[in-house]
Structure 1
């Protein structure tokens, strides 16, 4: 914008507007787009974050839980069917791993979390029930993108922001990773969204859904860890839970 907003309320709304236009913006980018001084932009972002209007992930900001509550992702009958049918398997996975576990599905180029159970020592994470995160840098997202060519194509056309040093930031790198996921039927998040947050995820298939390779993943289950070495223990538990969940989902019609 050419003229920076003048009143505090106008400035706050302009920061929200600019933040909403991106998939994750740094303080410098927000200050430049709004025409505000960095110190002013930081002060506003701090207040907005304190009130859950924005969320800071590393050095980048996204819209926060408060905004999503005001404009939530529509809860479709299909999302509710998946949540209802698969939550028991999420609970079993939680009991088997004692880790923070997620149930998610795709919504555009993001994942939407249908359920989440916190482990006894929760790892700080921006995921929340009903909220969304980029699909390309989450375990559940990559697990589903590997079996949905249309969604993977949409993601590849958008800028792939480097949230951490290990984030995949090119379509070619993402496609190589998705090919490996198709072969192994599981995905790994190597701290690609949050430093120190790792997870292993597995797709949940519904026999009535056709997609890449003949079957589309309609959901994914994951388990998180603070240490990458823990993923080897979690992997078979997650993949078995996802396979059982898929059988149940196919029969729940």
Structure 2
């Protein structure tokens, strides 16, 4: 076991079952995420990976089971309240604002931390002015961290896909996450872009002390950066172990990695 797995769980999902009519998307899944872990969630298409992230982040309500984040029961909270607890997620698509600059897209992630109202912002009261300066400083720090400062004033819609995904990660960081749930952040990227994003994800976990749950299909990336790998197949958890152990698990080999059990 790694040091992270010996620590108390920051996120605890117990007995998660999710049904859509007669279809069971998730069946009795339990998973813990430690305070310093980088956990990869893998499985074939349709295995239930995104559905599990949707349950954890409040977008889906499970038919059965519970979700606790840092001791707080968040299973009944609306999505924005889950985000306010510090459990922040990204999606497979970027959902950015293409006609706004990179800097302004990062600032969107600061919205829930802003105190100014529409009125104070419109009249540009001193408080609103000071808050804008403070929020821009935070956004600039994130741009520097993700090496995007040279693109701060460029419209997001003019960027390549890899850079847009990096901006999407920056917007998530702007929300001040205590844990990040990343849904296929490297999908559609070339090898160099994947290496860059993998480096930033490791830096987020190590230098910012933010645990990460990562849905990813690239097994090379998963085996290189994950502390632990959780494997789903047809909505059920079939493995939860180190990358090396998962590579040697017969059920995983049969279901996902290829070969015969």
- Give me the TM-score of the superposition, normalised by structure 2: 0.29
More helix by share: 1
Q: 1 or 2 for the larger relative contact order (CA 8 Å, sep ≥6)?
A: 2
More strand by share: 2
